[in-house]
Amino acid sequence: MAASTGTPKVPEYIFAEKIGSGSFADVYKAYKKGKTREVTAIKCVLKSNLSKTALDNLILEIKILKELKHEHIVEMKDFEWDDKYIYIIMEYCSGGDLSNFVKSTRRLPETVCQRFLQQLAAALKYMREKKVSHFDLKPSNILLKSRSNPILKIGDFGLAQHLPEDDTNSTIKGSPLYMAPEIVLKHQYDAKVDLWSVGVILYECLFGKAPYSSKTMNELIEKIKKDKAIDVPYGTNISQDCRNLLQCCLERDVSKRIDFEGFFSHPFVDLEHKPSPESMTKATELLTMAVNFDECQEYEEAFRHYNQALQYLVPLLHVEGDASKRTALRRKISEYLSRTEDLKKIMNNDSETIRNIRIPTIQRQESTGSTEYQGNREELLRLTATTPQIQTAIEIAASGELYANEGSYATAFEKYQLALGKLLELLQSEPKGRRKDLLREEVTRWMSQAEHLKEVLNRVTSPGNYTEELFVMADDKNCSLQ
């Protein structure tokens, strides 16, 4: 049992900085004593702040967390207590939460959203097998394992409980902005409220705000009360599968809302191609068949099997932590993509079969090491907090990076062009100092990435004058990076 003191203290751990705070608890980063110095997050709950209901919820949270062991659920490692505190020792996630991640880029490309959605869906499927519902899914309760390779982890199970899909509950739970309408309006709901919350989270990732975003609580409640379907914006670059899933999750009529079976099998969720230990085996089997078909000049079947293999291979790039292995995998994928392009030329490009086959996109940049960003953008954002024009341009350029990483090169360049056009202009009127130095550093880096995009676009699509246009634009403004 932990030592009884007036401040949070667990004998086996060294407490570092506070990383979170709530009504009933503070969360600290901590190191386990010993040779490994494992990093953890310790939730310290002050007993005197707990009502009977809050204590019951905490006990239930601990009970549920002890049962849940999944790669996309924050792991509870242990719990202890003394006369003042209850300590829940958790897995440490250094990437912050999904809410801040979305705000830092304004909105996420559909391919990133799909990858995140697969991770949430995998966790939810595991929870359904355990008959556990969360009831408070929202971006701030979803953590990122790290910023460099974002892996989502569902956390904060304070409102979770064992509830089969068809069982109902009458206690209001969750956060109103992400709460299904039936919770607010009828106080009767079932496990499908988690699917509504997933729809809201996906909507916010895609469009930068939740569908019922409001300035006041009264305004929010009025929007929830209106029997009006959620408007999924048209004119936005999202696929039909993505739009369909949003509409199915954000269905106000519970009887018409997608159920868990339909959600897990939905083509946009695409759990079949989520990276797993079996992905490489499945891809290898398909590639063996593709090569055999290729050698026998059965090009349509070869094309189909190469494509099916790539749908398993490409997602593995996003989870491969070893830089050299990632580079080798990217090179192999590029070779197979090149062969599919050759096969398309051999076959009739207008055939219905070819049009309906989706070729995965990847980052085609040759790399020999980690692509993790090592700059000072956070400091720059702090220094430019009073200059919204600069911050907006930085957010647009940052979204360009995400599009580039997902293989959406033309869209990425458009983002760079829009952002750099403004930043080059602002840089000229920026007084000397640390802020200007950091701004120049980012602009130089983004211009270099734009130049690389030109090379990629010339190889993958058709030749263009993208980078020339960018630098002509800079010359027209008499801009200089000096």
* pLDDT tens digits along 183-225: 888 877 788 999 999 999 999 999 999 999 888 888 998 998 8
CA atoms within 13 A on the CB side of 141: 22
Does residue 136 carry a catalytic annotation? yes
Distance of CA 444 to the CA centre of its chain: 27
**What's the pLDDT tens digit per position in 301-351?**
999 999 999 999 988 887 887 778 888 888 888 888 888 888 888 886 545
What secondary structure does DSSP assign to 123-158, as a single string? HHHHHHHTTEE-S---GGGEEES-SSS--EEE---T
State percent of the chain over pLDDT 90.
33
* Token pair for 74: 């924050």
Q: Which domains does the chain have, with CATH numbers?
A: 13-91 (3.30.200.20), 98-272 (1.10.510.10), 279-355 (1.20.58.80), 384-476 (1.20.58.80)
Marked catalytic residue, from 26, 56, 82, 136: 136
What are φ and ψ of residue 380, in 5° steps? -60, -40
* Token pair for 60: 């239930």
pTM for the predicted model, two decimal places: 0.71
The set of long-range contacts for 463-468, using a CB threshold of 8 Å and a minimum separation of 24, is 466/413, 466/417
Annotated binding site: 47
Annotated binding site for ATP: 47
What's the CA gap between 410 and 406, in Å, rounded? 11
pLDDT confidence band for 480 (50 / 70 / 90):
very low
What's the CA gap between 396 and 7, in Å, rounded? 44
**What's the pLDDT tens digit per position in 433-445?**
888 888 888 888 8
What's the CA gap between 264 and 127, in Å, rounded? 12
Count of H-run helices and E-run strands, the chain: 17, 9
User: CB atoms < 10 A from the CB of 28, how many?
Assistant: 20
Maximum separation of any 2 CA atoms in the chain, in Å: 77
Say what the pLDDT of residue 371 is: 43
What are φ and ψ of residue 306, in 5° steps? -60, -45
